[in-house]
Amino acid sequence: MLKVKNLYHSYTKDDNYAVKGISFEIKKGEIFGFLGPNGAGKSTTQKILTGLLPLQKGEASIAGIDVKKPTEKLFNLIGVSFEHPNIYSKLTGYENLEFYKKLFSVPTEDPKVLLKMVGLEDAVNKKAGDYSKGMKQRLVFARSLINNPQLWFLDEPISGLDPTTASNIKDIIKKKKDEGTTIFLTTHNMHIADELCDRVAFINEGKIEVIDSPRNLKLKYGEQLVKVEYKENNKLKRERLSLINDKDRDKLNKLVNEGKIETIHSQEATLEEIFIKVTGRGLK
Amino acid sequence: MLNRYFALLKKDIITGVRNYYFVVVIAVAIIFALIVNFLVPEDTSIKPAIFYHVEYQGDMRENIDEIIMESEREHPNVNRVNSREEIIENMKKKDNSIGMFVTESNGKPVIEFITQGYENKKVINTLVLSMKNSINESLGRKIDVKTNILNKDVEMERIPFNKSILPIFLLTEPTMLGFVLILALVFMEKDEGTIRAYMVSPGRIQEYLASKITLMIILGLISTIVCTGIVVGFNANYLALFGLVIVGSIFSSALGLIIASFFDNLSQSFIWVAAINILFALPMVSYLLPSFAPTYIKILPTYPLLFAIREAVFPTGNVEIIYSTILTFIVLSIMTFIVSVFSYKITAARD
Ligand SMILES: Nc1ncnc2c1ncn2[C@@H]1O[C@H](COP(=O)(O)OP(=O)(O)OP(=O)(O)O)[C@@H](O)[C@H]1O
Ligand SMILES: [Mg+2]
């Protein structure tokens, strides 16, 4: 669905690259997570792919259409949800979607249905400029679905939303994936990436460090740990034991055999920990 | 493509209405018309220039010279020339002027007043009358006075001063209005970031810009109709006037779009906006002071536009200036529109 090869971008048009030779592919129907700290080059990459920045160097194509020469067809099959809500503040929520709908020449969704889906049914006729930040964000999210995009770009779709709304938005993303939509998800929230993404790319300082499924990354980089609580000499003790380290494994076996264990939890490495391990830096 | 244009236009009109653009434009036009009709005096003290030649050599010559000398003292613009032909020549060069020619018939002086035919009748009548009176008084007897009109085919009266500033309003408001208003509109969308949302849709820059220009044309026409309607009623050549306002609006708003593409807000672009506005307003000086028309003003596109608008509002039969101005502006509009599309293609992607 999306192919990117050796993509470079410099805002200053010199050797100072914000994106340095990125390559990846997204298969149809996949949710691809684009993870990295602030300033890593995530938005830059997304902007090139959506035609907001010129493609300076490298290759990129969406559904076989060269991003360098974007056609109307290309824009008809993508949907873009922006990190910073950008809506016509003088128009109502409904008018915003109604207007945007008419820009497309493919079958489109009913604005009212979309607004209801993101929980804005009570604000349909309210000026979007008077929406709260979270409402604006949901309006932009809904707008990006108006043309039933085949490739859906999401930039931080749930940051700043309350838990209920966030979970509603996550459900919509999952539902769209089940319907076959390919999703490019940009975020620095590892939990969301872990929960939603089929594969993730770790991007740092303009380069992709690793691409794999969250599960594989955990298997590959994450030490599998168990957290045990056990009694020894009538005292409660807590310990984290690795399942890979031989010494720890022996100790765990011993504790199990002696029947001293009171509680035991497996503890997987988080994507965040793996990210730090791979890139040598944190996400924040 | 047409669908998208109309969707954009609908959105821009709603935005314009909710930003009170329509209300303001209509209110300004009404206020201006009322000022013109009721507050600006019909005539100003600008007196026409007088060109004269005295051919008469009889015994009353001295008295006549005296009268002329006296009026020369009161009236700064009295010029002696050497023949009747020269009077007419000078008058042709100077719009606001009358001529006086004193000749002899049967040994008696005959005074001929030559007028342009479109002077304000009040001014001329009082002038001629007062001269007649003083001549009669000083000579103690009646002499013959003829009045000769140069442009007999011109039926119109000279435009009263207050109404003559209507074309200036029509140039600055409906026509150049788009220049500033469109900047405000674009900056608002840049601030909202909606331009980026538009850029990732199938909508194209041309449609986006054309819709904004269309809104400016609509506002311009409304302003024109309201103001011209109140000031001159049905006497204007509305068809020509609409044509001029439309092409002028396209040109000025496309120019505004070019400026807007390089900046993010009004304060950044202020110098440019002010400079261009002043530049395009310069022809008004020549309009009010016809003798001041240096080349650098004449080459400004608003120069012919202003005079073409006057011709449309106060027709004198010179339709050529209307056609040629519309043609010039069609070319200019196409050029500025193309440039604006390119400047957006280059800058809109910019963050
Ligand atoms: N318009 C711009 N002009 C110049 N440099 C820019 C511009 N936008 C981004 N950059 C630079 O490019 C680099 C990558 O920025 P980018 O916005 O792609 O980061 P990001 O991964 O999206 O970060 P965040 O998580 O904060 O959204 C940064 O060093 C940033 O300073
Ligand atoms: Mg970003």
Per residue in A19-56, pLDDT (tens digit) is: 999 999 999 999 999 998 888 999 999 999 998 888 88
pLDDT value at residue B151: 57
Residue A89 sits in a domain of what CATH number? 3.40.50.300
- DSSP per position, B67-124: HHHHHHHH-TTEEE-SSHHHHHHHHHH-SSEEEEEEEEETTEEEEEEEE-S-S-HHHH
Share of chain B above pLDDT 90, in %: 36
Q: Tell me the residue range of the domain where A252 lies.
A: 223-267
Contacts of B221 (CB under 8 A, 6+ apart): B174, B242, B245, B246
Same domain, A209 and A233: no
| Measured distance CA(B58)–CA(B64) in Å, rounded | 10
In this predicted structure, the answer to whether residue A90 has a pLDDT above a threshold of 80 is yes
Which member of B8, B10, B202 has the closest CB to residue A75? Answer: B202
Q: Where are the alpha helices (DSSP H) in A92-189?
A: 93-101, 111-117, 133-143, 163-178
- Note the residue count of chain B: 351
Query: What confidence tens digit (pLDDT) does each residue in B190-228 have?
Result: 899 998 999 999 999 999 999 999 999 999 999 999 999
Does A277 map to a domain?
no
Same domain, A161 and A243: no
Same domain, A210 and A235: no
User: Residues of B with CB below 8 A from A82's CB?
Assistant: 193, 196-197
Same domain, A173 and A133: yes
pLDDT value at residue A160: 83
Among A214, A233, A253, the domain boundary falls at A214
Same domain, A188 and A167: yes
Nearest to A100, CA basis, from B14, A110, A124, B185: A110
Domains of chain B, start order: 2-41+160-350 (no CATH), 49-150 (3.40.190)
Same domain, A118 and A247: no
Mutate to test the interface with B, among A102, A146, A154 (most CBs of B within 10 A): A102
Same domain, A6 and A61: yes
In this predicted structure, the answer to whether residue B150 has a pLDDT above a threshold of 80 is no
Using CA positions, which residue lies closest to atom 28 of ligand 1?
A39
Does A274 map to a domain?
no
In this predicted structure, the answer to whether residue A278 has a pLDDT above a threshold of 80 is no
ipTM: 0.85
CB contact under 8 A, B200 and A87: no
Does A259 map to a domain?
yes
Residue B254 C-alpha, separation from nearest chain A C-alpha, in angstroms: 22
| Confidence tier at B123 by pLDDT (50, 70, 90) | low
Q: Which comes out higher in pLDDT, residue B146 or B15?
A: B15
Using CA positions, which residue lies closest to atom 24 of ligand 1?
A38
Same domain, A173 and A257: no
Query: What confidence tens digit (pLDDT) does each residue in A140-152 have?
Result: 999 999 999 999 9
| Measured distance CA(B177)–CA(B175) in Å, rounded | 6
Average pLDDT of A247-261? 85
CB contact under 8 A, A99 and B10: yes
Does A38 map to a domain?
yes
Does A263 map to a domain?
yes
Same domain, A77 and A149: yes
| Confidence tier at B153 by pLDDT (50, 70, 90) | very low
* pLDDT averaged over every residue in chain B: 84
Does A207 map to a domain?
yes
| Measured distance CA(B182)–CA(B192) in Å, rounded | 15
Q: Which comes out higher in pLDDT, residue B198 or B114?
A: B198
Average pLDDT of A189-198? 88
Does A281 map to a domain?
no
Using CA positions, which residue lies closest to atom 3 of ligand 1?
A11
Query: What confidence tens digit (pLDDT) does each residue in B329-349 have?
Result: 999 999 999 999 999 888 765
Which range, of A162-176, A235-249, B123-137, B246-260, averages the lowest pLDDT? B123-137
CB contact under 8 A, B7 and A102: yes
Same domain, A64 and A11: yes
Same domain, A92 and A191: yes
pTM of the model: 0.77
- For residue A36, the ligand closest to its alpha carbon is 1
pLDDT value at residue A83: 86
Does A284 map to a domain?
no
Q: Which of residues 108-167 of A touch B (CB under 8 A)?
A: 127, 140, 143
Ligand 1 atom closest to Cα of A203? 21
Same domain, A52 and A75: yes
Query: What confidence tens digit (pLDDT) does each residue in B33-88 have?
Result: 888 888 776 655 556 778 888 888 877 788 778 877 877 777 777 888 888 888 88
pLDDT value at residue B339: 95
- For residue A284, the ligand closest to its alpha carbon is 1
Domain count, chain A: 2
